[in-house]
Amino acid sequence: MKLIALPAFADNYIWLLHTDRHALVVDPGDSAPVLAWMQAHPSLQLDTILVTHHHADHTGGLAELVARTGARVLGPALEQMPVPTQGLQQGDGFDWHGLQFQVHEVPGHTLGHIAFWAQPTGQDPLLFCGDTLFSGGCGRLFEGTPAQMLDSLDRLAALPGASRVCCAHEYTLSNLKFALAVEPGNLALQDHWAHCTRLRSQTLPTLPVALHTECAINPFLRSRQASVAAAVRQHDRLAVDDVTTFAALRQWKNDFR
């Protein structure tokens, strides 16, 4: 299994996974990068498209890709898709050429948001998490509640630490800048900031990133850690428990410049 990040729009990634003959893409907000890649690799067939949530920058390319390739689309059962879709919910699974995918409901960014996890043979696991978990951050709460997002992130954090986090946006440096404001003494975070800064200076993706790295540097996965909670409560004295602390952390990020 080979994994490729196809850039789209200003900062999206469309993830493409392929074997020697078949390809799968995740969250194709734009059909053009996918079609161009497929044209350059005529021996491969795009047969499956995964969608994490309904936002247009994740679904805008679906209609043309389905029309051009006939690929099946699998996405959230609780959200409206622009093309016929096999709806998936928590606990569902499916097979893609011998690779078994698990489906996790992760509401917060949207109410029906899902994530896909799989363990390729001989490789680190894959986590396609859309806009729920970003490197160094998490998605804005457009539809869900802080309690929902905290629970969603808790469940993602419980997956194997070697899982490769394949989120849908290159937001890493801006997220890490905020994370350093929250937890300036975090040595792992300082090292990761330097690493990602070098990558972006070469216009290379900062993704995928190991989940265990995220658990060490991402304030939204660390909101119960004493260092993070203390910083949040100094910023907002109404943060008195896990949920209000997480809500205050998310609002702090919303306002951070």
In the chain the first and final C-alpha atoms are separated, in Å, by: 39
Q: Which of 18, 55, 104, 113 is catalytic?
A: 55
Give CA torsion, residues 211, 214, 215, 217, to 10 deg. 160
Bridge partners of 100? 95
Q: Which helix (H) or strand (E) holds 197?
A: helix 187-201
- What is the Cα–Cα distance from 257 to 253, expressed in whole angstroms? 8
Q: How confident is the model at residue 89, as a pLDDT?
A: 97
- Whether 20 is catalytic: no
Please give the structure tokens belonging to residue 121: 């043979």
Q: How far is CA 225 from the centre of its chain?
A: 22
Out of 18, 58, 104, 113, the active site residue is: 58
What confidence tier does 164 reach under pLDDT thresholds 50, 70, 90? very high
Catalytic residue chosen out of the listed positions 27, 30, 53, 104: 53
Structure-block tokens of residue 12: 């999206």
Measuring CA to CA, which residue among 47, 36, 55 is closest to residue 72? Answer: 47
Average pLDDT over residues 171-181: 98
Please confirm, yes or no, whether 109 is among the known catalytic residues.
yes
Q: What are phi and psi of 131, to 5 degrees?
A: -110, 20
How does pLDDT run across 4-37, given as a tens digit for each residue?
A: 999 999 999 999 999 999 999 999 999 999 999 9
State pLDDT tens for residues 236-256: 999 999 999 999 999 999 999
Identified catalytic residue from 18, 54, 104, 109: 109
A 10 A CB-CB count for 149 gives 26
Q: Is 53 a catalytic residue?
A: yes
Question: Is 47 in the active site?
Answer: no
Mean pLDDT calculated for residue range 114-128 = 98
Catalytic residue among 18, 57, 151, 192: 57
Place of tokens 């119960």: 224
Instruction: Verify whether residue 55 is a known catalytic residue.
Output: yes
Bridging pattern class, strands 114-118 and 99-105 = antiparallel
Q: What percent of the chain has pLDDT over 90?
A: 100
Query: CB-hemisphere CA count at 13 Å for 232?
Result: 27
54 in active site: no
* Per-residue pLDDT, 44: 97
Q: Which of 104, 113, 169, 192 is catalytic?
A: 169
Q: Which of 126, 218, 131 is nearest to 168 (CA)?
A: 131
The model carries a pTM of 0.97
**pLDDT tens digit string along 26-76?**
999 999 999 999 999 999 999 999 999 999 999 999 999 999 999 999 999
